[in-house]
Homo-oligomer: A and B are copies of this chain.
């Protein structure tokens, strides 16, 4: 028993979110912390899920999409049909991510070229003004 249950405040500091955010995620059934009386206690599982949620957000997934992805990580005892559906969804998502990475690659490349051009432009401006 690794005894690492954290209060809401501890969670907020560790993951840099507000209490409201955590309660919001709970309302959306993304996390389900334990209760000690009234107070929420976030165990290991909740912490791991929150980490995944924040990861997902950084890649532009909506909370609803993230909720579905979480099912992949925490399967448990579902029926296979349901699982397969989730799995298929994940496969799609993965290919979307690869597609996105490809686009990101070319965008970065173009962007770097553009930046180089911008740098030259600024250099030109500076030269001109020095010459006056």
Contacts and interface: CB of A to CB of B under 8 A. Distances in A.
A57 B41 CA distance: 38
Given A59-B104, A60-B60, A118-B72, A111 B94 contact: yes
A114 B73 contact: yes
A131 interface: no
Contacts of A126: 80
A27 interface: no
A108 B115 contact: no
A94 B73 contact: no
A92 to B, nearest CB: 11
A7 interface: no
Interface of A: 55, 58-60, 72-73, 75, 80, 83-84, 87, 90-91, 93-94, 97-98, 100-101, 103-105, 107-108, 111-112, 114-115, 118-119, 121-122, 125-126, 129
B72 A119 contact: no
A107 B97 contact: yes
Nearest to A73: B114
A80 B115 contact: no
Given A55-B107, A59-B107, A80-B125, A112 B94 contact: yes
